[in-house]
Amino acid sequence: MLDLRKRVIDWVEENREECIKFLQEVISIPSPSFEERQMAEFLAEKMRDYGFDVSFVDGKHDALGTIIGSGGGRSLLLNGHLDHVPVGAMVDPYSGLLIDGADFGVEGQVVYGRAACDMKAAVAAMVLAGRAIKELEIRLKGDYKVAAVAQEEVGGAGTTSTIVDSQFLADVVLIGEATNMELALGHRGSMKFGAVVKGRSCHASAPERGVNALYKATKMIQRIRDDLVPRLPTHPIYGRVSLVVTQIEVSPKAFNVVPESCLFWMDCRNHPGFTAEDLYNELNQIIAEIKAEDPEFEATVIPTTLITGRTFSGFYTDPDKHPVVEEAAQAVSEIYRKPERGLWTFATDGRMYSRLGLPVIGFGPGEERFAHTQQDHVKVRDFLDTIKVYAWLACKICEASES
């Protein structure tokens, strides 16, 4: 296996320029959510060219590929998403430029462009690792699978489709979301709540005749920020609950009318010790307290998480229950360095596989702090090392031998 590991490393270094060019090509294809078809077809074709035994695009425009093993080994599924958030004010977002990382405060060369970090570099590495396996004529007992999915940024419909419709699963799942080359074992849950604050509209030239719903809403928002957020509980594994107001709108939308209604939305990242019901009760307690001080105050909580009946949406792959965590850490150590173990700050499609009882691990290039920003990029060195890690992990999990 030592010789095989060296051959994997050497293959990536010998094909360095081709690997970088492939990533640049992937970044150059726009693929915002719901517009992933071109990207999916490009990747499916490349997987066929690289020798994948099965490669196709499904109805959701997920690109799915498999290198079929000889049998008797565990299968490994690598999941990454094709869609990306809007480019915003990002300059040359689809350029895939190779530039000095000093512009972003990092050392070495980086590839710049929308989704470089979140998460086309990881997806490209998954496909290229498969190419390395085929060109090195490595025989795997278990299947090596790549699920390059659509619509992750808007709820995960792509991964849901691959699980429900295609039954595209494996014994071990790796999510390639950015981990800065560390090992991620899960993430907190995600809850979306809203609140509607009522007022009474009137002409803006005589505001004293009405009740300004926007002013009333700011009271509640201030109470959430100053009183509730500081006392949100911490969990030994998942860390602290976070809660932030993210959107606000009034009705009617007119410059010369005092608003009669104000709706604002909150994003809460929770753990098992702070449920949707807990947040619902906390918000209603704030409403009761403000109403006791201000009889004109009227508000209603919109508990979308409770309405949809969702349970805790986070997950954690416990190393004590799943030996594959140690296997993955060892594989990363043998290629790169010993990784730290932690959790993602944001949510991933890993939760969907974890609900099925599958062990889910996370490893990918890129830093969370650059995701969705105008500085979206990935370090070239980390990208190349990720290809090596994915190929080597496949050798370990799927039990490789040289033909």
Mean pLDDT, rounded, for 6-21: 98
Contact yes or no for 76/178 (Cβ under 8 A): no
pLDDT at 308: 60
Which residue intervals of the chain bear CATH 3.30.70.360? 189-307
* Residue 304 banded pLDDT, cuts 50, 70, 90: confident
* Residue 158 banded pLDDT, cuts 50, 70, 90: very high
Name the architecture of domain 189-307: 2-Layer Sandwich (3.30)
Beta strands 109-112 and 377-379 are antiparallel
Question: What CATH number labels 2-187+314-402?
Answer: 3.40.630.10
Query: The whole model's pTM is what?
Result: 0.93
In this predicted structure, the answer to whether residue 336 has a pLDDT above a threshold of 70 is yes
pLDDT at 312: 86
pLDDT at 303: 86
* Residue 306 banded pLDDT, cuts 50, 70, 90: low
Could you give phi then psi for residue 321, rounded to 5 degrees?
Answer: -100, -20
In this predicted structure, the answer to whether residue 307 has a pLDDT above a threshold of 90 is no
Contact yes or no for 50/11 (Cβ under 8 A): no
Contact yes or no for 122/178 (Cβ under 8 A): yes
Mean pLDDT, rounded, for 248-264: 98
Beta strands 202-203 and 400-402 are unpaired
Quote the percentage of the chain above a pLDDT of 90. Answer: 96
* Residue 309 banded pLDDT, cuts 50, 70, 90: low
pLDDT at 195: 98
pLDDT at 402: 63
Q: Report whether the peptide linkage leading into residue 252 is cis, meaning its omega lies within 30 degrees of zero.
A: yes
Contact yes or no for 360/183 (Cβ under 8 A): no
pLDDT in tens, 59-115: 999 999 999 999 999 999 999 999 999 999 999 999 999 999 999 999 999 999 999
pLDDT in tens, 128-156: 999 999 999 999 999 999 999 999 999 99
pLDDT in tens, 172-194: 999 999 999 999 999 999 999 99
Which residue intervals of the chain bear CATH 3.40.630.10? 2-187+314-402
Mean pLDDT, rounded, for 6-15: 98
What is the rounded average pLDDT for all residues in the chain? 96
Of 144-148, 164-168, 201-205, the range with the lowest mean pLDDT is 164-168
pLDDT at 403: 56
Q: Which residues pair with 315 in a beta bridge?
A: 187
